[in-house]
């Protein structure tokens, strides 16, 4: 299964793309599994899952939370976790809600993780080692970090619009897997990183679109 494990819809403050369009784009690009991880919101994931019923795609509900130390993804979570908490407390609340804890774009320019990630490696479930939207060498650094500390890993487009969907994903063996089976494969490091970061101009256009979206919300 081709799993894009980080994307956003219009329920995020920096996107204007509806959950329906995100799902349609994923299906058209042969993505089998999509994690909807809106900023501080879960309605986009719910709406996407409802639209995806009966279609050839699995929706994993998630959320991206801005902790005091940086962004944290909660996968398979259906409740809002408050932003602005210390990373340790954010992680605790995600796990209490039954979610998987992933640190996205930990070494990205501008919005990398600001806390001491080494102190959290026993508490998190993994890190994102390929994010199609970030600038710089953060993906390479994240992969080396995951290998050094034997961490589980994910990959995702970090799409805020349809054209980025599927640029990066984790390929997991099997077909028609459940959410629990996909997450188990991630924990077992049973996946292959596919794709690459967008080129510089694609990123500039995408981040400009995010900035415009912020003023429209």
pLDDT tens digits for 149-200? 999 999 999 999 999 999 999 999 999 999 999 999 999 999 999 998 876 6
Kindly tell me if the per-residue pLDDT of 201 is higher than 80. no
Distances (CA, A) of 61 to 5, 114, 152: 10, 25, 19
pLDDT tens digits, one per residue of 113-146: 999 999 999 999 999 999 999 999 999 999 999 9
pTM above 0.75, yes or no: yes
CATH topology of domain 2-216: TIM Barrel (3.20.20)
Residue 27: pLDDT above 80? yes
What would the two tokens of residue 47 be?
Answer: 């709406």
d(CA 100, CA 97): 9
Structure confidence by residue, pLDDT tens digits, 35-50: 999 999 999 999 999 9
d(CA 196, CA 15): 22
Structure token pair of residue 62: 């998630």
Q: Cβ of 193: how many Cβ atoms within 10 Å? A: 16
Residue carrying structure tokens 């596919």: 194
Cα gap 189→150, rounded to integer Å: 9
Residue-level pLDDT at 216: 65
């Amino acid at each position: 299964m081709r799993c894009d494990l980080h994307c956003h819809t219009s329920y995020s403050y920096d996107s204007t793309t509806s959950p329906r369009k995100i799902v349609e784009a994923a299906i058209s690009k042969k993505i089998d599994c999509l994690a909807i991880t809106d900023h501080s919101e879960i309605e986009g994931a719910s709406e996407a899952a409802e639209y995806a019923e009966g279609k050839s795609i699995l929706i994993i509900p998630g959320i991206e939370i801005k902790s005091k130390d940086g962004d944290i993804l909660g996968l398979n979570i259906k409740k809002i976790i408050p932003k602005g908490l210390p990373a340790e407390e954010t992680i605790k609340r995600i796990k209490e809600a039954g979610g998987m804890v992933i640190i996205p774009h930990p070494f990205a320019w501008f919005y990398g993780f600001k806390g001491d990630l080494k102190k959290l490696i026993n508490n998190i479930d993994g890190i994102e080692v390929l994010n199609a939207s970030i600038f710089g060498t953060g993906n390479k650094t994240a992969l080396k970090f995951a290998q050094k500390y034997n961490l589980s890993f994910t990959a995702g487009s970090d799409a805020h619009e349809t054209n980025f969907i599927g640029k990066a994903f984790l390929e997991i063996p099997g077909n028609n897997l459940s959410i629990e089976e996909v997450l188990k494969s991630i924990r077992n490091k049973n996946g292959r990183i596919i794709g690459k970061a967008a080129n510089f101009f694609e990123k500039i256009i995408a981040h400009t679109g995010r900035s415009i979206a912020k003023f429209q919300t």
